Amino acid sequence: MIQTKEPGGTSAGTRLRDLLLSAEYDLAAWTEAFLFEADRCETYAKVVVPALEDGRVVISDRNLYGTVAYQGFGSGLAIEQIDQLTTLATAGVYPDRVLLLDLEPSLAVNRLMLQAASDKFDKLGSAYQARVRAGYLFAAGRDPGIAEVLDAALPAAVVTKTAQILIGRLLATRFPHLAPKSSPDES
């Protein structure tokens, strides 16, 4: 199994992540979109596609829904154009499963205050965060059978268990040799 993240799944991506998340730069919305897609292209070319070609499972923290949510819904860019860029960046490779942890923006802000690190997007206000959430839900709504929206307001143990069950089911059908053994409480 390979784990990666967006942005920052490669050494070049780490530098792009620093640029994108820093409040030092006031980037135009399309500049951000292109840089996120550049990171995605690098991650897919160097990490995701080679791993899939080797028959490995790839888990990514964040993925293509983020650009739809932040640059599309959050900043008002055209979703159709973002989709075209994403298709180019991923060479048409699409996730088998997306788990979207959904949380009301006010609860998310409260949780962020408990963390030491935050980025420029975390500080853009409640109206922006509400648009971003709507973007994530829109992206998930376009992917029935792929996207699962999980209530992140539930206790972490419940969310984790639900995610494990969903991933276990996917592994059982796509990669039977990797699937965890079923437990009686998986109803």
Rounded to an integer, what is the distance from CA 2 to the centroid of its chain?
15
Check pLDDT > 90 for residue 108.
Answer: no
In CATH, what class is 2-97+126-143?
Answer: alpha beta
Question: Which pLDDT value is given to residue 129?
Answer: 85
Mean pLDDT score, 4-19 = 88
Q: How many residues does the chain have?
A: 187
Task: Please write the tens of the pLDDT for every residue from 130-164.
Answer: 999 999 999 999 999 999 999 999 998 999 999 99
Supply angle C-alpha 95, 98, 100, rounded to 5: 155
Contacts of 133 (CB under 8 A, 6+ apart): 69, 102, 103, 104, 105
pLDDT at 116: 57
CA pair distance 92, 86, nearest whole angstrom: 8
Domain ranges within the chain, ordered by starting residue? 2-97+126-143
